[in-house]
Structure 1
Amino acid sequence: MKAEIVAVGTELLLGQIVNSNAQYLSQELASLGIDVYFQTVVGDNTSRLKQAIQLAAGRADVLIFTGGLGPTQDDLTKDVVAEVLDRSLHIDRMAMDNIERFFKDRNVPMTENNRRQALSIDGATPLANETGLAVGNAIAEGGKSYILLPGPPNEMKPMFKQQVKPWIMQHVLTNESPIYSRMLKFAGIGESALETKLLDLIESQTDPTIAPYAKESEVTIRISTKANSQSAASSKLDVMEEQIASRLSEHFYANEDVPIEKTIVDMMTEQGLTVSCAESCTGGMLMQTITTIPGSATVFLGGIVCYSNAMKEKLLNVPHDLLEGENAPGAVSAETAKVLAEQVRMIVDTDFGLAVTGVAGPAYSERKPVGLVYIAISRRDGDTEVHELHLKGNRNTIRLRSTKTVLYHLWKQLKRNENQAGK
């Protein structure tokens, strides 16, 4: 089953807004076992939109349109789809009632062009808009399915989730077994290295299928299978997950789509542990990343952004002769990272102290190159672990990669705790 997403709107072509709808729809369709082979963006032009529809209908089974359902004359999607299908338009009474009530409740006169938002193609299933005014449409014609959705994501997403997905299951996937997927998350390894370790599984895949995805400092593998029930799917997915996990145990941190910081907060909560941070080049990014997770207050007690050498000395007791002087290691050094991690752990009184110091760019610092970063993890009643990193990228990328690398090494220590407790 193949789909094409057609985003309608000149503002997309001009770069005035980002087409985030396509990403969302592609993910949702993939979860249904529908492959998106093409994504098209077309402006508010009748002839070009008609060409886009005819082209999409020639290569896809499901055509999903976003945008062009509003009240103005350049909102053309329903008009052009109706013309291509040789169908008329009519006012959907429920949608019209909703629009009239909207203006009445606000004591605002309704302009006549708002009636366009209640238009529906003859024979289509109207899709109620719970967060906006424009009614959507779903229609099957000539072995193809046409689904028309509003452009604003806050209107499109709930309409797709609550109405389009059930319609697809009832009208499109009638002879298809449901597809079940599981997301496996990895840290501390790049996409190419991960693929190399799994190459034989990827090349020989049949069912379940394996699809790797990479984003900054994390890699995700989606394993999917078609089955008649959740239990039958789980049996097949469990076997594949075990094979993958056994090869990548040093990097496999979750079998659900969560960031590593969420896994860390959960593990530390379960183990009754606490953490604090001392940050130089990351400027608080590490602390922010941890505290975005609900429940982090039980494990993260506090931290210090010690950007200048003066703050490193004053707040974290880093010796002056370690930071400055002809033979001093400097702020960007393993020695300084070690002291930062140990001092913040003792000052805040936590089980772990994390530290980051380095050169994020754009220029050298202390005659040291951009991308040289030292991270440290100090543990109560344990040794302090220090790692030297050589990172590539712009300033923000280096800061993000530094943050994620600290979290990866913290996760490894927490995992060792679990393994030792289980013995």
Structure 2
Amino acid sequence: MKAEIIAVGTELLMGQIVNTNAQFLSQQCTAIGVGVYYQTVVGDNESRLRQALETARQRADVIICTGGLGPTQDDLTKDVLAAFLNRSLIVHQPSMDYMTEFFRGRGIAMVESNAKQALMLKGSDPLPNDTGLAVGVALTQDDTHYILLPGPPKEMKPMFERYGTGWLLGLMGGEQPLYSKMLKFAGIGESLLEHKLIDLIDKQTDPTIAPYAKEGEVTLRLTTRAGSLSEADAKMADTEREIRERLGEYLYADRDVPIEQVIVDRLIELGLSLSAAESCTGGMLSDMITSVPGSSEAYHGGLITYTNRLKHALLGIPMELLEGDGAPGAISERTAREMAERLLERTGTDFALSVTGVAGPSPSEGKPVGLVYIGFARRGGETVAIETKQTGNRELIKLKASKAALYLLWKQLHKHDEAAERS
């Protein structure tokens, strides 16, 4: 079945809130085998909502609306759909009884407009609202299926999970659900990844292969229909094995997690510690690491040495290395190496990362925007420094440089694991 999601609310069009409902519903529908082909956002306007419904009816089997079920005058969704389908609105008595008791129990008079939230289209199935007041609606007319859900996520999500998905599954009969597996890659761009897999992508049938990218990472989604998760894993196994053989050096996870979480989890598991010295990334690397719950077990902290003065004062890097005729400069492989090594001495951690470069918008030290050096030092081991060239605006370069540093660390953790296995 093909679905369209219609999010109703002028506040969405004005950018006052983010349409997270559409993302959630797309994920939920995909999980049960309903493909979402379109997403529409429409304001609290009767004629435009009716136009959106008319368009959706022509191209989708399932129309899911969120928003517009509340008590105010601009909550129009049920009224518009009732007129659109030429159905009357009736009271869902259990919802009305609950609402009446809700206000009575709080000693608040229930104003007449609240009664709107207990209305449903005649002949429809009610979707109970366990976390709010507005009852949801599900019905079928002329081979098109409609679901109306409240707008607040705290009401919409449990309503759809507990009641909406079951209603949809009841329509699908014996159709098997979709199962997906995420393969996460770092250190490789989307175009190169696709080039290395182009033959698999061109001849794909079942499972399907879909690459998509975030800045600094690439995800491959393998998808198949199956009767169970174990059956789905078996159907995807050969394709996954081939992908691993070709791209294993970049594959950091087979679940939908960022690389920083994989790194923090592994550091904690190994009982190892990390620190970071940042220049051009301005703390973004540390922010990514500390965004992972529990990261304090492995991440001891870092320094943002943005100027040469602080690189010298806090890390002890000689000024003759940073400035002067013939000096490598702050933006150099030598400085990245020194930053990592000297931070390691000061913090006593097992590993230290460093980042120095040109985030833009202008060149620095005569070096181009996007040139970034990353250093890695380990206690009692070798120091590694690499040169990378990032593209984009200032924020993108900082983000990509931070991800590149994490990828270098991830590779070094693999080397650590391999060395442990040999010893």
Same fold (TM over 0.5): yes
Aligned to 1:275: 274
Aligned to 2:362: 363
Q: What's the secondary structure of 1:253's corresponding residue? A: strand
Structure 2: distance between partners of 1:363 and 1:99: 61
Q: What's the secondary structure of 2:130's corresponding residue? A: coil
Q: For residues 58-73 of structure 1, what are the structure 2 equivalents within 5 Å?
A: 58-73=58-73
Residue identity opposite 1:20 in structure 2: T
Structure 2: distance between partners of 1:396 and 1:59: 39
Q: What's the secondary structure of 2:380's corresponding residue? A: coil
Tell me if structure 1 keeps the 8 A contact 2:6–2:66. Answer: yes
Aligned to 1:190: 189
The answer to whether the aligner puts 1:419 opposite 2:418 as a matched pair is yes
Q: CA RMSD in A?
A: 1.8
Structure 1: distance between partners of 2:331 and 2:178: 50
Q: For residues 56-205 of structure 1, what are the structure 2 equivalents within 5 Å?
A: 56-170=56-170, 172-205=171-204
Q: Which moved more, 1:51-60 or 1:23-32?
A: 23-32
Structure 2: distance between partners of 1:140 and 1:422: 60
Structure 1: distance between partners of 2:174 and 2:54: 26
Alpha-carbon displacement from aligned partner over 1:193-250 (angstroms, at most 9, x marks no partner): 1111111111111111111121111111111111122221121122221111111011
Q: 1:301 to 1:96 in 2, by over 3 A?
A: same
Unaligned runs of 5+ in 1: none
Structure 1: distance between partners of 2:219 and 2:152: 28
Structure 1: distance between partners of 2:36 and 2:336: 47
Aligned to 2:344: 345
The answer to whether the aligner puts 1:393 opposite 2:373 as a matched pair is no
Residue identity opposite 1:91 in structure 2: V
Q: For residues 202-213 of structure 1, what are the structure 2 equivalents within 5 Å?
A: 202-213=201-212
Q: 1:84 to 1:262 in 2, by over 3 A?
A: same
Alpha-carbon displacement from aligned partner over 1:43-88 (angstroms, at most 9, x marks no partner): 2222322222122112111101111111112211111112222222
Deviation at 1:255, TM superposition (A): 0.7
Q: 1:98 to 1:339 in 2, by over 3 A?
A: farther
Aligned to 2:402: 403
Residue identity opposite 1:383 in structure 2: E
Residue identity opposite 1:75 in structure 2: D
Q: What's the secondary structure of 2:16's corresponding residue? A: coil
Deviation at 1:295, TM superposition (A): 2.5
Q: Which moved more, 1:244-253 or 1:271-280?
A: 271-280
Q: 1:98 to 1:311 in 2, by over 3 A?
A: farther
Structure 2: distance between partners of 1:320 and 1:359: 19
Tell me if structure 1 keeps the 8 A contact 2:290–2:296. Answer: yes
Aligned to 2:221: 222
Structure 2: distance between partners of 1:101 and 1:219: 52
Aligned to 2:261: 262
Q: Which moved more, 1:99-108 or 1:2-11?
A: 99-108
Structure 1: distance between partners of 2:243 and 2:154: 37
Structure 1: distance between partners of 2:280 and 2:104: 55
Deviation at 1:106, TM superposition (A): 4.2
Residue identity opposite 1:185 in structure 2: K
Q: What's the secondary structure of 2:68's corresponding residue? A: coil
Tell me if structure 1 keeps the 8 A contact 2:31–2:177. Answer: no
Q: 1:328 to 1:230 in 2, by over 3 A?
A: same
Residue identity opposite 2:54 in structure 1: Q
Deviation at 1:101, TM superposition (A): 4.1
Deviation at 1:326, TM superposition (A): 2.6
Structure 2: distance between partners of 1:419 and 1:237: 28
Aligned to 1:11: 11
The answer to whether the aligner puts 1:33 opposite 2:25 as a matched pair is no
Structure 1: distance between partners of 2:359 and 2:112: 56
Structure 2: distance between partners of 1:332 and 1:129: 58
Alpha-carbon displacement from aligned partner over 1:138-173 (angstroms, at most 9, x marks no partner): 112222210111122332222222221222112x22
Structure 1: distance between partners of 2:101 and 2:328: 71
Tell me if structure 1 keeps the 8 A contact 2:33–2:176. Answer: no
Structure 1: distance between partners of 2:208 and 2:277: 43
Deviation at 1:102, TM superposition (A): 4.0
Structure 2: distance between partners of 1:293 and 1:101: 43
Residue identity opposite 2:219 in structure 1: T
Deviation at 1:254, TM superposition (A): 0.7
Aligned to 2:353: 354
TM-score by length of 1: 0.95
Q: What's the secondary structure of 1:290's corresponding residue? A: helix
Q: What's the secondary structure of 1:81's corresponding residue? A: helix
Structure 2: distance between partners of 1:33 and 1:219: 24
Q: What's the secondary structure of 1:3's corresponding residue? A: strand
Unaligned runs of 5+ in 2: none
Aligned to 2:299: 300
Identity of aligned residues (%): 56
Structure 1: distance between partners of 2:251 and 2:337: 27
Q: 1:91 to 1:352 in 2, by over 3 A?
A: same
Tell me if structure 1 keeps the 8 A contact 2:103–2:110. Answer: yes
TM-score by length of 2: 0.95
Q: What's the secondary structure of 1:277's corresponding residue? A: strand
Structure 2: distance between partners of 1:387 and 1:107: 68
